Amino acid sequence: MNLISENKSFGGVHRRYQHASSATNCVMTFAVYLPPAALAGGKVPALYWLSGLTCTDENFMQKAGAQRVASELGIALICPDTSPRGDGVAVDPEGSLALGLGAGYYLNATQEPWRAHYQMFDYVAHELPALVEAQLPITSVRSISGHSMGGHGALIVAMKNPGRYRSLSAFAPICHPSAVSLGAASWGRRAFAALLGPDESTWHAYDAVELIAHLTERLPILLDQGSSDDALARLMPEALVAAAARVQHPLTLNMREGYDHAYYFVASFIESHLRYHAKALFAQGDER
């Protein structure tokens, strides 16, 4: 890991690292916030945050106001990038923001030209945690959250890795991407067809509404969603609520009156999510 920048923040430290990733076969950048408790010789549990379309490792760290609360609670924040990047990494030939760079959907692509690098599922679920747990004062006690495409990522990564996360939440997640078809700006079917091919059964393996029916672990889901979010038709929280109800999967949806899809919405409610995750991260008796 190469340290590329470091800033003191709320008594802890915000760092950005680059490293050669074997999962994505390129150099990946990620950010980590280490609270004061991690700089005093101890190890701390971590919240993994997955960001949305067009984001990098920086958006959440700069805009969410999360470091103040993470400092107090003594949890690390880990923010990967949203896709592979660099020479040879495929980009959307149509130039949309919904496929390609910044738009990896946290899945393992099987199709050309995407599969050489777009292996974000393996990267965020396995390679990145192994790396930071080996090289930083971070334990294997993990929670996961994210926003928009990253909320989708948090849902599928947790659902497909039972036992790996203590808690799961999401802000305005894309809940049912295999059903979302709105042309070139599709936050779902167009990208899934490119990355996974025409067989829609392969899409369902990365779709929270499809996955929730068949889980062995009933990890509760905490969702916050703005009622004035222009993207609601592409997010489909109602489909996830209905699917959860069918299998009695515990799910709390906080509809936030008047809030939209911006980071001001995330910032307004991040503290409540961080306190929710801290409760699970510091719970006794079920070290995993």
Query: Interface with a second copy by CB under 8 A: which residues?
Result: 7-11, 14, 62-63, 65, 67-68, 226, 228, 258-260, 262-265, 267-268
Are the CB atoms for 109 and 83 separated by under 8 Å? no
Question: What residues are labeled active site?
Answer: 148, 229, 261
Task: Tell me how far apart the alpha carbons of residues 30 and 51 are, in angstroms, rounded to a whole number.
Answer: 11
Task: Give the sign of the dihedral formed by CA 59, CA 62, CA 68, CA 70.
Answer: positive
Q: Name the residue nearer to a second copy (CB basis): 70 or 156.
A: 70
Q: Name the residue nearer to a second copy (CB basis): 68 or 126.
A: 68
Report, in Å, the least distance between residue 10 CB and a second copy.
5
Report, in Å, the least distance between residue 30 CB and a second copy.
17
Are the CB atoms for 246 and 252 separated by under 8 Å? no
Report, in Å, the least distance between residue 263 CB and a second copy.
7
Residues sharing a CB contact under 8 Å with residue 280, sequence separation 6 or more, in sequence order: 143, 166, 167
**Beta bridge mates, 169:** 222
Q: Name the residue nearer to a second copy (CB basis): 67 or 145.
A: 67
Strands 221-226 and 251-256: parallel
- What distance, in Å, lies between the first and last C-alpha atoms of the chain? 26
